[in-house]
Structure 1
Amino acid sequence: MKQITVRVTTDSDKDLTARAYFDVTNLSVKMFSDDANPLPNVVINGNTIEHLDTEHDGFYSIVFDPVPGATGIEFEWANEGQNKHWTIREIEACTSAPEAQKNQVGIIAQNPKQQSKSKSLMQEKSNIEAQLREFSKSRSVFGGIFGKPEPVHILNRGDAEQPEEEVTPTVLSALGDLSLAKDAPDSERRVALAKWIADEKNPLTARVAVNRIWQGHFGIGIVETANDFGKIGAAPSHPELLDWLSAEFIRSGWSVKHLHRLIVLSDTYRQSEQIVTHARAKDAEVRLLWRFPSRRLEAEGIRDAMLAVSGRLNLKTGGPGFDLFFSRGGLNGFPPILKFQGDGLRRMIYAHKIRMEPDSVFGAFDCPDAGQSVSRRRQSTTPIQALNLFNSQFTIDESEAMAKRVREDAGAQVPAQVARAYWLAYGRDPHPNEMADAESVVQRQGLETLCRAIFNSNEFLFIP
């Protein structure tokens, strides 16, 4: 027979209660106070006892009522027989106050057979809980009431009150035919229209898509008026190039990735921005693409680049977006959020837009609000942009985060810090004169000031 004694104590001055689970023989329980003297009248399940004898193959649970002045519980037990393993399953000691924290003693020993069964049951419990969480998720259901489409008539002078000949739904005869029956359901009509729009014999769709992608890379499309390919829109600067790219776009199966790769690997895209005097005299707006037209990053790109360089960019994809503003209150409109954490550090494409409310910092960089449709953003240069980018709380936070990242990467030596900051922001080493100036700034005003200056530099803000 093996005799075991365990004490569970608490530093609380509250009355003590406890719950224990045992698989033992001849269990003795005592409670004691700070002076280690046993207390009388130990109460278990409403009965006052000094000694408890039990033999049980499974969990045996005893619950102690609160004992005034008790600060600990002493358990003493023994096991008999070759097939018995002395075991404490769990002991919890807590005060009688409901908000009190429980002090737990882990498993001291365990029956191997019951240990295996316990693991199996716990795994089954985890699987059931996972299924319950999955079943409890709300599921989106889309419903609609679809009736038979009304007959389509030619309207005399466009007056809905004067219907004349019934016609089949289709496009203008000069542009093809949808081959629909008069009584075709809505679903067939929509599918037919979508196929007609994306038909390889319809060059307009591919031209518009290609022009938008080209505009994203060069700042201006082959057709300057991206929303208007009609008679009053601008003529293409390179019509043969537009048609060739459109044909290639269709041939590749409308692969946007293929078109991006084709453009960025071209000599036109990879040429420098160096100015040639005689070329500028003939084409000051660079519509003939004799050099790469450098331009400033868009507002979203500036914010994302600052987060990436500071090391705080949250690359989480999908799911709900994040807010740029607090909820509306009184006459204050939508107060902007100044400090961001967690999802607020995601890419700006996930930001919730509010109509007529531009972003407090990056709205100054020609970022339209949600109430505008803009085919091509203009580029302005204003004092507000410089003030926002130098003094805003967002810039200060990212400058501090970048400085912290640089110190962790480069250590305490200023030259190493400057070199690391330049690599993070520009992807290159600083020139000797830049190194000297940057070291002076760090020594006099701190690394955070250098990081803030980098965020405001043309090399950081512009696509060369």
Structure 2
Amino acid sequence: MQEQPERDRRTTRIQRRGNFRDLGEEVPPGVPAAFHNLPDGAQPDRLGLARWLVCEENPLTSRVVANRCWEQIFGRGLVSTSEEFGSQGELPTHPELLDWLATELVRSGWDLKAFFRLLVTSSTYRQSSRVTPELLERDPDNRLLARGPRFRLSAEMIRDQALFVSGLLSPRMHGPPVNPPRPQTGLNAAFGSAIDKPTSTGQDRYRRALYTEWRRTNPYPSMTTFDAPNREVCTVRRDRTNTPLQALVTLNDPVFVEASQALARRMVREGGDSTEGRARRGVRLCLGREPSEKEVAALVSLFQDARSDFADASDAATRMATDPLGPLPEGMDAAELAAWTVVGNVLLNLDEMFLKR
């Protein structure tokens, strides 16, 4: 995409009462009169608009960008209404800090990587997110940043996180949208076969959620359960809800079931020969830390109970270990792998798995 040369640009005119056949006076390119003028020498084109957005006479852009970056890292912006910086929005909780961050962003040449590094290496970000009675009394909503950030990941990140720890996530970049597995809705009975597209195969089945095809009339169900917007309007700041439906998604959605099966095979493959070692490997993969002895004992007990149940139900064990991921790896027992799948499903449902803290 590129801008047409000036001699080929289309003339824009006012359409009286919205009627494209009733044209009024010509409207030249420019910026809203309520704001500052274009920089000296800047042409009224896209390059001129870009320079106008980041010029020194416009501090709003750097403040908005700095606040959005802060919101991504801390879960809430210094201005909590990140979609509204005007008179109807909230005042910043730390106005001097926001001003300084905005000037640092400009001083670094709008280097977002350097700016994020500044945020994550700050003492504020590196605080513990543990809640104590004293901190809860002083700052119940953590608006004053008395403790580190703790918030649930976005819908796309939750799906990608499950695929990543299980080893299924595809690193492939770019390309057309894909259709990952989704529950059968039965909508095609009412609206025809076009409502449900075939599930993608190969690497496309496991690509990042960013590449998922999204239709407003038939959104991806697991992501909407985790508060993904419907794309009908631009959503700057998402709501975060906590409902029982979310636990049902991570327990039963085809993507998470398949991730549990892959995680089970990874625990068996990388955890050594002992049950305790495999349980420890699963916790390290999912939670990024060493488990306590109590946690290991609970997972081992869960594995043994599930293994006992599947020992007398070979068909159920095979389905649990292979559907939809695929056939059993050579030399692996169906009942044992099904039991580890149950353990993997539990690990993928821990709140620590999908919380940033």
* Cα distance, 1:168 vs structure 2: 8.8
Of residues 341, 344, 353, the one that matches 1:448 is: 341
Of residues 175, 187, 196, the one that matches 2:36 is: 175
The answer to which structure has the higher strand fraction is 1
Q: What whole-Å deviation, never above 9, does each CA across 1:128-164 have from its counterpart, x for those lacking one?
A: xxxxxxxxxxxxx8796964565999x9xxxx98869
Aligned equivalent of 1:419: 280
Aligned equivalent of 1:81: none
Aligned equivalent of 1:435: 296
Identify unmatched segments of 5+ residues in structure 2. 17-21, 307-338
Matched, 1:189 2:45: yes
Distance (Å, rounded) in 1 between the aligned partners of 2:35 and 2:170: 51
Distance (Å, rounded) in 2 between the aligned partners of 1:193 and 1:274: 45
Secondary structure at the counterpart of residue 175 of structure 1:
coil
Greater relative contact order structure (CA < 8 Å, 6+ sep): 2
Letter matched to residue 255 of structure 1: D
* Cα distance, 1:457 vs structure 2: 0.3
Change (3 A) 1:244 1:143: closer
Distance (Å, rounded) in 2 between the aligned partners of 1:144 and 1:176: 23
Identity percentage over the alignment? 32
Distance (Å, rounded) in 1 between the aligned partners of 2:109 and 2:230: 34
Q: What whole-Å deviation, never above 9, does each CA across 1:64-109 have from its counterpart, x for those lacking one?
A: xxxxxxxxxxxxxxxxxxxxxxxxxxxxxxxxxxxxxxxxxxxxxx
Aligned partners of 1:324 and 1:359 also within 8 Å: no
Distance (Å, rounded) in 2 between the aligned partners of 1:448 and 1:199: 56
Change (3 A) 1:335 1:168: closer
Aligned equivalent of 1:406: 267
Write out aligned runs for 1:289-300 (5 A).
289-300=145-156
Letter matched to residue 365 of structure 1: F
Change (3 A) 1:274 1:339: same
Aligned partners of 2:13 and 2:23 also within 8 Å: no
Change (3 A) 1:341 1:149: closer
Aligned equivalent of 1:459: 352
Of residues 244, 247, 257, the one that matches 2:103 is: 247
Q: What whole-Å deviation, never above 9, does each CA across 1:316-359 have from its counterpart, x for those lacking one?
A: 11222312479x95615733767864212011112122114332
Aligned equivalent of 2:93: 237
Of residues 188, 191, 213, the one that matches 1:331 is: 191
Change (3 A) 1:438 1:336: farther
Matched, 1:349 2:242: no
Matched, 1:394 2:255: yes
Distance (Å, rounded) in 1 between the aligned partners of 2:124 and 2:237: 21
Matched, 1:319 2:175: yes
Distance (Å, rounded) in 2 between the aligned partners of 1:178 and 1:150: 23
Aligned partners of 1:339 and 1:393 also within 8 Å: no
Give the stretch that moved more between structures: 345-354 or 166-175: 166-175
* Cα distance, 1:283 vs structure 2: 2.8
Moved beyond 6 Å, runs of 4+: 336-339
* Cα distance, 1:196 vs structure 2: 1.0
Aligned partners of 2:29 and 2:45 also within 8 Å: no
Change (3 A) 1:285 1:370: same
* Cα distance, 1:303 vs structure 2: 0.8
Letter matched to residue 242 of structure 2: T
Aligned partners of 1:411 and 1:417 also within 8 Å: yes
Aligned equivalent of 1:266: 122
Aligned partners of 2:36 and 2:57 also within 8 Å: no
Change (3 A) 1:291 1:356: farther
Distance (Å, rounded) in 1 between the aligned partners of 2:304 and 2:144: 47
Letter matched to residue 351 of structure 2: N
Change (3 A) 1:161 1:367: closer
Change (3 A) 1:415 1:276: closer
Of residues 356, 375, 398, the one that matches 2:236 is: 375
Aligned equivalent of 1:275: 131
Aligned partners of 2:69 and 2:116 also within 8 Å: yes
After superposition, the CA RMSD in angstroms is: 3.1
The answer to which structure has the higher helix fraction is 2
Aligned equivalent of 1:366: 227
Change (3 A) 1:278 1:430: closer
Matched, 1:302 2:158: yes
* Cα distance, 1:304 vs structure 2: 0.8
Give the greater-gyration-radius structure (CA). Answer: 1
Aligned equivalent of 1:103: none
Give the TM-score of the pair, scaled to structure 1.
Answer: 0.61
Aligned equivalent of 2:54: 198
Aligned partners of 2:129 and 2:148 also within 8 Å: yes
* Cα distance, 1:282 vs structure 2: 4.0
Secondary structure at the counterpart of residue 125 of structure 2:
helix
Change (3 A) 1:407 1:143: same
Distance (Å, rounded) in 1 between the aligned partners of 2:34 and 2:290: 63
Identify unmatched segments of 5+ residues in structure 1. 1-140
* Cα distance, 1:197 vs structure 2: 0.9
Aligned partners of 2:199 and 2:205 also within 8 Å: no
Change (3 A) 1:342 1:152: closer
Aligned partners of 1:274 and 1:291 also within 8 Å: yes
Aligned partners of 1:299 and 1:367 also within 8 Å: yes
* Cα distance, 1:289 vs structure 2: 0.5
Of residues 74, 79, 86, the one that matches 1:218 is: 74
Distance (Å, rounded) in 2 between the aligned partners of 1:162 and 1:321: 42
Distance (Å, rounded) in 1 between the aligned partners of 2:200 and 2:50: 44
